[in-house]
Amino acid sequence: MKNDDLMYVPMLERKWRPLSFLFFPLPVVIVIVLALLQVGLSPDNAAEIIYGSWAVGFTLLNLSKEKIEDEMVKTFRLQAFQTGFFWLMCGLVAIMVVNYLRFGEFRQEIFSAPLVLFLLNAYVFAAFEYQKWRSNQ
């Protein structure tokens, strides 16, 4: 096994990109319908549905191939994941500070897996798109 094989992540085909865009409006519609049906959905559970769906959408976008997948795109992708992780840490600290100022204590329920995955993938997507935009300038 070559050293490059250890770092290979299989990318999704471009046909996954249109599907990923369905995960952004769909959970909002589902939450609104559930609220209208008065099924007793709490605001926290509604947020989890939305965060989880948006995390899936951004994950599909982040893992789908570009039209031209070359070394420059791979470098941008790596830098975007590094930048996204840094922004995630800053965002989590900001959430902790805001919640401490709001409630006067640290609460464990402010962080959930869907929220963290959504933030990470959103930051990675933004960093990657920004790098592509900057390279075209």
Surface-to-core class of residue 67, CB atoms within 10 Å of its CB (0-12 exposed, 13-18 middle, 19+ buried): exposed
Query: What is residue 53's three-state secondary structure?
Result: helix
Percent of the chain residues topping a pLDDT of 90: 58
Residue whose C-alpha is closest to residue 61's, from 113, 137, 127: 127
Banded pLDDT at 6 (limits 50, 70, 90): low
Spatial distance between the Cα atoms of 114 and 1, rounded to a whole number of angstroms: 35
Task: Name the pLDDT band for 8 (thresholds 50, 70, 90).
Answer: low
DSSP H helices, 7-70, are: 16-22, 26-36, 43-63
Tell me which amino acid residue 117 is: L
∠ CA(45), CA(116), CA(94), 5° rounding?
A: 105
- Averaged pLDDT for residues 72-99: 92
CA distance 44 to 73: 37
The DSSP result for 73-115, as a single string, is HHHHHHHHHHHHHHHHHHHHHHHHHHHHHHHSS--GGG--HHH
What's this model's pTM, rounded to 2 decimal places?
A: 0.83
Per-residue confidence (pLDDT) for residue 39, from 0 to 100: 86
